[in-house]
Amino acid sequence: MKISNYILFVLTAIVPVYTRKDGDDKGLNSLMPTHENSSTTIDISHLESTQFNDVIEFYFKPSVNITISKVDVAMKNFTDILPGDSQTIYEKDQWSMMVGYQGVDVGQEWVFVISGKDSSNNKDYQITTKYVVNN
Q: Is the pTM of this model over 0.75?
A: no
Q: State the virtual CA torsion across 17, 19, 24, 28 in degrees, nearest 10.
A: 40
In a domain, 3, yes or no: no
Number of independent structural domains in the chain = 1
In a domain, 81, yes or no: yes
Range of the domain at 43: 29-132
DSSP string, 70-118: EEEEEETTEEEEEE--S-PPBPTT--EEEEEEES--TT-EEEEEEEEEE
For residue 125, the model assigns a pLDDT of 95
In a domain, 125, yes or no: yes
In a domain, 83, yes or no: yes
Per-residue pLDDT 10s for the chain (135 aa) are 445 444 333 332 223 333 333 344 444 444 444 444 467 899 999 999 999 999 999 999 999 999 999 999 999 999 999 999 999 999 999 999 999 999 999 999 999 999 999 999 999 999 998 999 997
In a domain, 23, yes or no: no
In a domain, 122, yes or no: yes
Mean of pLDDT over the chain:
80
Count of positions (residues) in the chain = 135
| Strand order, beta sheet including 124-132 | 4-5, 96-102, 55-62, 42-48, 29-33, 124-132, 109-118, 66-75, 78-83
Query: pLDDT digit string (tens) for 92-101?
Result: 999 999 999 9
CATH number, position 58: 2.60.40
For residue 3, the model assigns a pLDDT of 53
